[in-house]
Amino acid sequence: EIDEITLAHWQSVFSINYVTLNYVSPEKNRYAYMMEGFETDWNYVGPERTATYTNLDPGSYTFRVKASNNDGLWNTDGTAINITINPPFWKTWWAFLIQFIVAVTAIAFVINYFVSRQRLRNALKIEHLELEKMYELDRLKTQFFSNISHEFHSPLTLILTPLEKLISTIDKNEPAQESLKLIHRNAQRLQRMINQLKNFQKIQHNDMQLQLSRGDIVLFIREIARSFQEYAVDHRIQYQFNAAPERFTAWFDADKLDKIIYNVLSNAFKFTPAGGEVGVRVSIIHPDAQQNTQTEDDLPSQYVEIVVTDNGIGIPADKIEDIFKRYYQIERENGQYYPGSGIGLAFANELVNLYQGKIFVKSSEGNGSTFSVQIPVDEHFLEAKQLVGEFSADSGKQLVNWDFAETDNAADDVAANAPESLSEKSMPIILVVEDDDEIRNFIKKAFQSKYRIVCAANGNQGITEATTLIPDLVISDIKMPETSGIELCNRLKEDEKTSHIPIILLTAYKSREYKIEGLQKGADAYLSKPFNIDELDIQITNLLQIRKKLKEKYCRQIMLEPANVEIEDIDEKFIQRVLKTIEKRISDRELNAESLSREIGMSRMQLYRKIRGLTNLTVHEFIRTIRLKRATELLKEKRMTITEVAYEVGFNDLTYFARCFRKQYQKSPSEFVSGKE
């Protein structure tokens, strides 16, 4: 006899059959049943001998049944059976215990995460404050020296001018001549240091630009090197100059190049003792040919390399990274510092960076140093990088002749009298769309010293200029013939070539509806006429700064996780389309700016300015970043060798791949695979 039945949770639908053992007129037997725990009343079902239950909840029940005989007498005690329906596993006590443990663990993890995040934020805040303090101290120091330099200019002028006249009037054989020349040399040296201090502040504020002119760069470098010949003879230093080729015509900034070479050479002579050696070697190098890599317009194909060697005191290995820091001076063993201001090499490094060139140093303490300066002289690179303006045939025919006795002044004159200011293209481009000639010209004159201003007289012309030129910012009137400023704004924001460009709308309407409509169409700022030119200037500066920060943000995102770049909708679609195109051809070594622009459906310049405008990367840098990111994914899988990975992502030179990989991730591919920091 069974007293209890146990069922699983999925057996909650069942039937129970019952019968009474009364054989006298069994057809008159009657039944009643009840499921205790589910029902409170008896179910009288007559002669029915089956009880059916559906979807009983998990739990314990008692099924009771009683019967009556043919005389209608009921058996009040009846009979019963216990029924247990087990709960599903997720409703068991141990499941609840596990859930509780998981919940507590999750809460603890979340609390720990937010506490860690808060600690990190606090640490970053402290670091940020320390950096701000350091930058502020550096700025105040530079500002102080800059102010001092301004104060020194007038007295120096009053010293140098009469001194030069005095030297020219005194006979060369007079004993005073040498003393006067000594004074003159040191006054000029002081003037050069003062100018460098002033130029530091210009570089910090991005006020310094290249002023390129065309001439024989090898001859120019030779003459700068020649100016140290007298010093070498006086100090019994063996001094050599070698150049291959002997002559080479190129675009270069005479003033900046003079300062770079002068400071590097001065450093070499300063730390070379009497009887030592200093050498200068000039050559034209082609890194692309050496690396056997594809040539891009945004990657220089030609450099002039100036190598300065000496056998002086050398630089300690742990100090090499510091020599390009401002005001850094090498300390002697006795605690004293070598003579100098700590400005020369730092200034040279800043100028090389302005030139988008390279400077390297190899040194061994006690065995001398070798400085290598590489300056791009490739016209296509200079133009693509917007370091120069348009190259004209006329300007190319005019070679520059410098009076090397007065290099600085001569170079300045050349830049001033050049047929065209070749640094203009380095300025941000602003498109002014205004049908009123006077307002258009007023805006142009107000900002042409800071920006490249391109003008359009109506909306249609403005749209054409914007899609062709891809400016950095657009200023547009609202009410114009043919196409209004609102429509212009709408069309530029919907076009993937121009959607990233900030737009400022100008209008004489005071109605708020026009302002709301313009902002709804994607305008970034709105000014009512008559507007304050200073307010417009601030709006332009702020929008360009915001765009610059966004470029830096997107650039970091692309380097970390290209597929997850968060950009405004239309720009995100464009970036994703470019990414898919690159991914599809990731192994193609012929993939470059030209072929990518054809596949995307833009001109090379449009693609260059669009990607530059969104990410601050050139097309070549963008492609290379995606290739290297894909390389990290393949290296993590460890199914391919480093060489196979390099070829798989489109590199055909392992050395170049390793150098690019280290530059982006601060570790070599082999270190990346082994997990070394």
Higher pLDDT, 282 or 95: 282
DSSP structure string for 398-437: ------GGGHHHHHHHHHHHSSS-TTGGGSPEEEEE-S-H
pLDDT higher than threshold 80 for residue 8: yes
pLDDT at 272: 87
Spell out the residues 6+ positions from residue 495 whose beta carbon is closer than 8 angstroms to its own.
467
Q: Which pLDDT does position 239 carry in this prediction?
A: 92
Taking residues 382-403, what's their average pLDDT? 39
d(CA 539, CA 326): 33
* Mean pLDDT for all residues in the chain: 77
In tens, the pLDDT along 232-275 reads: 888 889 999 999 888 888 888 888 888 899 889 988 888 888 88
Q: What is the mean pLDDT of residues 154-172?
A: 75
Phi/psi-derived region of residue 366, left when phi > 0, alpha when psi is between -120 and 50, beta in every other case: left
The CATH homologous superfamily to which domain 4-91 belongs is Immunoglobulins (2.60.40.10)
Q: What is the CA radius of gyration of the chain?
A: 41
Q: Rounded CA gap, 612 and 598, in Å?
A: 17
So what's the architecture of 561-674 in CATH? Orthogonal Bundle (1.10)
Question: Rounded to whole angstroms, what are the CA distances from 530 to 395, 461, 485?
Answer: 42, 24, 17
pLDDT given for residue 386 in this prediction: 45
Instruction: Please say if the pLDDT value at position 375 is more than 80.
Output: yes
Check residue 411 and give its pLDDT: 33
pLDDT in the model for residue 391 = 33
pLDDT in tens, 452-476: 899 998 888 899 888 888 888 999 9
In eight-state DSSP terms, residue 530 is: S
3-state secondary structure 113-178: HHHHHHHHHHHHHHHHHHHHHHHHHHHHHHHHHHHHHHHHHHHHHHHHHHHHHHHHHCCCCCHHHH
What is the band of 81 on the pLDDT scale with cuts at 50, 70, 90? Answer: very high
For 244, what's the count of Cα atoms within 13 Å in the CB-facing half-sphere?
A: 1
What CATH code is assigned to 209-417? 3.30.565.10
Return the pLDDT at 133: 86
Mean pLDDT of 75-101: 87
Q: Over the stretch 41-66, which tens digit does the pLDDT of each residue have?
A: 999 998 888 999 987 888 899 999 99
pLDDT at 62: 93
Per the model's pLDDT, the better-predicted residue between 139 and 241 turns out to be 241
Residue 458 identity (one-letter amino acid): N
Q: How many CB atoms lie within 10 A of CB 358?
A: 16
The Cα–Cα gap between 417 and 395 comes to 11
- What's the pLDDT at 118? 92
Q: Is the peptide bond before 530 cis (omega within 30 degrees of 0)?
A: yes
Percent of the chain, pLDDT > 90?
14
Residue 313 has a pLDDT of 83
More confident residue, 116 or 296: 116
How do residues 621-647 score in pLDDT, each as one tens digit?
A: 888 888 888 888 888 888 888 888 888
Separation between Cα atoms, residue 568 and residue 494, nearest integer Å: 11
In DSSP terms, which residues pair with 251 in a beta bridge? 214
The pLDDT of residue 510 is above 60:
no
Superfamily designation of domain 427-548: Response regulator (3.40.50.2300)
Confidence of residue 208 (pLDDT cuts 50, 70, 90): low
Looking at the DSSP bridge assignments, the partners of residue 59 are 85
- Distance between CA atoms of residues 123 and 337, nearest Å: 35
pLDDT for 76 equals 80
User: What would the mean pLDDT of 413-421 be, rounded to a whole number?
Assistant: 34
C-alpha to C-alpha distance for 412 and 119, rounded to whole angstroms:
54
- DSSP-derived pairing of the beta strands 303-310 and 277-285: antiparallel
Q: How high is the pLDDT of residue 145?
A: 65
Tokens of 408: 């600085």
**Of 464, 479, 470, the residue nearest 452 (C-alpha):** 470
The domain limits of the chain are 4-91, 94-200, 209-417, 427-548, 561-674
Q: Give Cβ neighbours of residue 475 (< 8 Å, ≥ 6 apart).
A: 430, 431, 432, 433, 434, 443, 503, 504, 506, 536, 540
| Average pLDDT of span 325-339 | 55
